[in-house]
Structure 1
Amino acid sequence: MVVNTYLLFILSVLLLGYLLELAVAVLNLRCLSSELPAEFVGVFEAGEYARSQEYTRATTRFSLIQSTCGLILTLVFIVVGGFNLVDLVARGFGFGPIATGLIFTGLLALLSSLVSLPFSVYSTFVLEQRFGFNTTTLATFFLDRLKAMALTVVLGGPLLAAILWFFATSGQSAWLYCWLAAVVFILTMQFLAPAVIMPLFNTFNPLKEGSLKEAITRYAQRQQFALQGIYTMDGSKRSTRANAFFTGFGRFRRIVFFDTLLDKLAENELLAVLAHEMGHYKLRHIPLMMILSVLQMGLMFFILSRFLGNQGLFAAFGMEHVSIYASLVFFGFLYSPLSLLLGVGLNIFSRRNEYQADQYAAETLVEEGGGEALISGLKKLSVSNLSNLTPHPLHVFLNSSHPPVLARIKALRHLHPLGSNG
Structure 2
Amino acid sequence: MLFESVLGFSWVVYLWESYLSKRQHSIYVNVQSVPKELTSVIDQSTFDKSRRYALDKSTYGFWNGLYSQIESTAILWLGGLPFLWAASGVVLGKLGYTSEHEILHSLVFTLLGSVFGLVTELPWSLYFTFVVEERHGFNKMTLGFFLKDLVKKTLVSQAISLPLTALIIYVVKVGGDYFFVYAWLLVLCISMVLLHIYPEFIAPLFDKYSPLPDGELKTKINELAQSLDFPLQKLYVVEGSKRSAHSNAYMYGFHKNKRIVLFDTLLEDYTPVGRTDQTNSDSTEVPESDREETNSGKGEDVNKKDKDCETKKIGCNTEEVVAVLGHELGHWKFSHMLKNIVIMQGSILFSFFVFGQLMNNTQIFAAFGFMDQQPILIRLYIVFSFIFSPINEIESFLMHILSRRFEFQADEFAVNLGKREKLKSALLKLFKDNLAFPVADWMYSARHYSHPPLLERLRAMDLYKPKQE
Task: Tell me the TM-score normalized by structure 2.
Answer: 0.85
The residue that corresponds to 1:37 in the other structure is: 35
Deviation digits for residues 51-78 of structure 1, max 9, x if unmatched?
2112112111111111111111111122
Give, in angstroms, the shift of residue 39 of structure 1.
Answer: 2.7
For residues 14 and 291 of structure 1, what CA distance do their matches in structure 2 show? 28
Say whether 1:237 aligns with 2:242.
Answer: yes
Deviation, structure 1 residue 305:
2.0
For 1:347, the equivalent position in structure 2 comes to: 400
Q: Where in structure 2 are the equivalents of 1:11-410 lying within 5 Å? A: 11-32=7-28, 33-92=31-90, 93=92, 94=98, 96-250=101-255, 253-263=258-268, 264-320=315-371, 321-331=373-383, 332-364=385-417, 366=418, 370-410=419-459
Mapped to 1, the partners of 2:370 and 2:206 lie a distance apart of 39
Q: Is the 8 A contact 2:212 2:218 kept in 1?
A: yes
User: What SS does structure 1 have at the residue aligned with 2:251?
Assistant: strand
Q: Does the 8 Å CA contact 1:359/1:415 hold for their aligned counterparts?
A: yes
Deviation at 1:309, TM superposition (A): 4.6
Could you tell me how far apart the structure 2 residues matched to 1:59 and 1:211 are? Answer: 38
Offset, 1:311: 2.6
Q: Tell whether the 8 Å contact from 2:411 to 2:461 is kept in structure 1 after alignment.
A: yes
Change (3 A) 1:393 1:408: same
Range that drifts further, 108-117 or 183-192 = 108-117
> Structure 1: where are the runs of 5+ without partners?
none
Normalized per residue, the structure richer in helix is: 1
Q: Tell me which amino acid in the other structure corresponds to 2:145.
A: T
Q: Secondary structure at the match of 2:233?
A: coil
Task: State the alpha-carbon separation in 1 of the partners of residues 142 and 412 from structure 2.
Answer: 39
SS of the aligned residue for 1:254 comes to strand
Q: CA RMSD in A?
A: 1.6
Contact residue 184 and residue 349 of structure 2 kept, 8 A: yes
Deviation at 1:250, TM superposition (A): 4.3
| Residues 165-218 of structure 1, C-alpha deviations (whole Å, 9 max, x = no match) | 111122221111111100101100111012111111111111111111111111
Deviation at 1:317, TM superposition (A): 2.2
Q: Distance in 1 between matches of 2:165 and 2:360?
A: 17
CA–CA distance in structure 2, aligned partners of residues 80 and 217 of structure 1: 59
Taking structure 1 as reference, are residues 251 and 143 closer, same or farther at Cα in structure 2, changes over 3 Å only?
Answer: farther
TM-score normalized by the length of structure 1? 0.94
Give me the whole-angstrom Cα distance separating, in 1, the residues matched to 2:234 and 2:335: 19
Task: Give per-residue Cα distances to partners, 1:317-362, cap 9 Å, x unaligned.
Answer: 2234211111122121121221111111111111111111111111
SS of 2:250's equivalent in the other structure is strand
User: Shift in Å at residue 252 of structure 1?
Assistant: 5.1
Residue-by-residue CA offset, 1:97-137 (whole Å, 9 max, x unaligned): 11111111221122112111110110001100011111112
Shift of residue 35, structure 1, vs aligned partner: 2.5
How far the C-alpha of 1:397 sits from its partner, in A, is 1.3
Contact persistence 1:246–1:277 (CA under 8 A): yes
Q: Which runs of 4+ in 1 moved over 3 A?
A: none
TM-superposed deviation, 1:139: 2.2
1: CA distance between counterparts of 2:170 and 2:89? 17
AA in 2 matched with 1:121: L
* Paired residues of 1:25 and 1:60 also in contact (CA < 8 A): yes
Match of 2:262, SS state, is: strand
SS of structure 2 residue aligned to 1:43: coil
Moved more, 399-408 or 146-155: 146-155
Matches of 1:78 and 1:219, distance apart in 2: 54
- The Cα shift of 1:226 comes to 2.0
Distance 1:236 1:309 in 2: 51
CA distance in 2, matches of 1:6, 1:310: 12
Other structure's SS at 1:124 match: helix
Q: Distance in 2 between matches of 1:167 and 1:77?
A: 27
Cα distance in 1, alignment partners of residues 258 and 203 from structure 2: 13
Aligned to 2:430, what secondary structure does the other structure show? helix
| 1:69-93 per-position Cα deviation (integer Å, ceiling 9, x unaligned) | 1111111122221111111122221
Q: Which amino acid aligns with 1:9?
A: S
Letter in 2 for 1:47: S
CA distance in 1, matches of 2:46, 2:425: 17
Between 1 and 2, higher relative CO (CA 8 Å, sep ≥ 6) is seen in: 1
Aligned equivalents of 1:172 and 1:298: distance in 2?
14
| Structure 1 partner of 2:3 | 7
Q: How many residues align?
A: 412
In the alignment, the residues of structure 1 paired with residue 335 and residue 257 of structure 2 have an alpha-carbon distance, to the nearest angstrom, of 17
CA distance in 1 between counterparts of 2:228 and 2:257 reads 20
Conservation of the 8 A alpha-carbon contact between 2:250 and 2:261: yes
**Residue identity matched to 2:103:** I
Paired residue type of 2:243: R
